[in-house]
Structure 1
Amino acid sequence: MKENWSDSDAEEFANHLHQRTEELYNIPDAEPDDEGLIECSAFIMQDMVIFPRMISPVFILPGPNMVAVLDAQANDETMIAMFLQNPDAEVPTLEDFLPIGVEIAVGRLLSLSDGKSSALIQGRRRVEIVEIVQDDPYLRVRARPIYESIEVNREIDALMRTSRDLFEKCVQLDRSLPDEAHIYSLNIPEPGWLADMIATAISFPLKERQTLLLLADPKERLKRLNWLLAQELDVLQLEDEIQSKVQNEVDRSQREFYLREQMKAIQTELGEGDIWMRDIAELRERIEKAGLPEEARKVAEKEVERLAQMPSMAPEVGIIRTYVEWILENYPGISKLKIISTLNTPPKY
């Protein structure tokens, strides 16, 4: 949403989005036939996963997916999202897709300036892909709906509590996750639904999201989810520690800069000027008058420039200044060849 939108613009956008979401619920689920199978147009996905009960925007290019969507909308039908696991297949067969898909509802198409279209899609339920019954002008498949029915016993309850606790910590550390996401998870009573919701919120790698989709058993799905959440939390905690250290260093540097500026102001007020910069200027003047050979002069000037960039109380200041003094004081008694050799291996500091 644009930052300069007015309240009325924001309200209109929210109402429009709500209307588009409500339209999805008006599309009925496909009715199973006598064999318990449903037949729907396929919506092929390659780089994303949609989970049941979740809503997500998608981009649709002109081609089979577009034709399939238009036909499904004309007949007020759901579709089956099929997840391509072999992107190199020119004419995909059943083996090129994940064995599990998701029945989805596809909302109104919105045309974009680049020729693409966008739409909201809503996951309904997992389905087991049985066969492809049509491949032109788009795929049409038969699938068996997967119904989740599991009793929430002590083990399942413990797994759900762990999922919510880990998810809450991730939300606290990940700024891209809204606080409302955790609140929403607290009000989900079903284990499978909870796992799918959290898997949608967290940006897991595509392969891991596909793995979670394939786990039809809610208990196994929660176990896998908790393992992934623990890994994600470790990464977020490490990132938080690094950011805290960096921020502390920035704060310390800013404090030192502020104190140095205050010191300069006090010295100027007392008529003393900047003593440290006067020392630097004196060193530059001595180097200029010393008549050093070019190699020695370049090294000395480089070290003085380093001094000028440092706070006067930095621990390296004494070592660098001693090195410069050594070049200035010892050059007259050293041959050109020897001083070049020495300058190429300066003291360690």
Structure 2
Amino acid sequence: MNDPFIANELDAVRSAAIDADGVMLCVVIPVTNVIIYPNIITPVTLSAEASTLAAVNVAHAARHTVIALLQKDEDAQNVAPDELYKIGTEVALGHIMPFPEGQKTVLAQGRNRVEVLEFTQTEPYLMARARIVPEEEVYDDQIEALMDTLLGLFQHAGELSEMLPDDVIDYAMTIESPGWMADFIASTLSLTSDERQHILETFDITERLHEVAVMLNRELNMLELRDEINGQIQQEMNRSQREMYLREQMRVIQTELGEEDVFQQELTDVRQQIMDAQLPKDIHDRALKELSRLMIMP
């Protein structure tokens, strides 16, 4: 599903070195409105802050991975360490791609979930010591059932949503790792940043599959409701079009027979009754206005 050239470029980025205690020292990139899950390539819009761009340049020069951490306040500038979540992702960064209005975007390849232990530097960019959160590789009947349920819901969502093309559904079907499957499906859903962060922080595979299934089922309910509403609107439009067609046919027949439109005759009679009635001026004017609206309807 990913472009082979892009994937190869990101694969070439070296993972951070791990010391004897299982700890890495990495540059930190604050991100907003996006979570980069392991094994998934995600576009990331970079902050225009000098510290963020400096961190990216250092990562590119060293060809090493960085740690991406979500900001707690997406509007905050020059964020301090305590304004970042401590669970993030070790990621490989691609080349910076300039966009209109000065925005800069990079493709980020998720490698591992990480937990920040301490920040070692705040200027000119953030650096931190972190440990990799190992991914459980557990397969049992409950996990298998949850995976089957999740895939079934995802396939149904694909039938209702134009935002889920067939190749995305097909790709999900090829994923054998339960944690990866949960992360991939979560990355396609319309979730808030806090919800995405919650999935990132859910280390237990069974719980993660269940949480994503609940979120997917909620989105599926919205898709089904939207589909039902669209169907009702279409039926109403079809009914209105049929009524307009029949009314026009009736007018043609009446014209051929030399008859006046019965509906228009009734409106003419009502107009005369309004004119003859001694109504207060505001009521008289309002009644004529409503009647005029009816008379111009097809």
Which residue is 1:70 aligned to?
A: 57
2:245 paired residue number: 258
1:92 aligned to 80, 98, 110, which one? 80
Q: Aligned match of 2:111 in 124, 127, 136? A: 124
- Structure 1 position 138, deviation (Å): 0.5
Give the paired residue count.
296
Query: How far does residue 252 in structure 1 lie from its aligned partner after superposition?
Result: 0.9
Q: Please list the CA deviations of residues 267-296 of structure 1 after superposition, one character each: whole Å capped at 9, or x if unmatched.
A: 223333533224323443554466755245
Shift in alpha-carbon separation, 1:298–1:181, aligned structure 2, 3 A? same
CA spacing shift, 1:166–1:89, aligned 2, 3 Å: same
TM-score w.r.t. the length of structure 2 is 0.89
Name the amino acid aligned to 2:194.
Answer: K
Please, which of 226, 235, 247 is the counterpart of residue 222 of structure 2? 235
Corresponding residue number in structure 2 for 1:331: none
Q: Displacement, 1:91?
A: 5.1
- Structure possessing the higher relative contact order (Cα contacts under 8 Å, 6 or more residues apart): 2
Give 1:160's match in structure 2, choosing from 117, 127, 147: 147
Matches within 5 A, 1:105-120: 105-120=92-107
* Structure 1 Cα separation of the partners of residues 278 and 238 of structure 2: 43
- Gap change, CA 1:19 and 1:289, over 3 Å in 2: same
TM-score, normalization by structure 1: 0.77
- Equivalents in 1 of 2:84, 2:49: separation in Å? 21
**Which residue identity is paired with 2:117?**
V
Q: Structure 1: how far apart are the matches of 2:136 and 2:281? A: 84
Distance 1:72 1:173 in 2: 41
SS at match of 2:123: coil
Give the share of equivalent positions with the same residue, in percent.
38
Q: In the alignment, is the contact (CA less than 8 A) between 1:20 and 1:108 conserved in 2?
A: no
Question: What is the deviation of 1:89?
Answer: 8.2
Q: Following the alignment from structure 2 to structure 1, what is the Cα–Cα distance between the partners of residues 283 and 129?
A: 82
The answer as to 2:183 corresponding to 1:196 is: yes
Hey, what's the Cα distance between the residues in 1 that align with 2:283 and 2:108?
71
Q: Which residue of 2 aligns with 1:213?
A: 200
Structure 2 stretches lacking a partner, 5+ long: none
Distance in 2 of aligned mates of 1:274 and 1:100: 74
Q: Deviations over 1:127-186 (max 9, x none)?
A: 111111111110011111122132311111011111111112222222222122221111
- Say which is worse superposed, 224-233 or 210-219, in terms of deviation: 224-233
Q: Which residue of 1 aligns with 2:121?
A: 134
Find 2:170's aligned residue among 183, 186, 191. 183
Q: Secondary structure at the match of 1:118?
A: strand
Q: Are 2:284 and 1:297 equivalent residues in the alignment? A: yes
- Which residue identity is paired with 1:170? A
Question: Partners of 1:293 and 1:82 in 2: how far apart?
Answer: 70
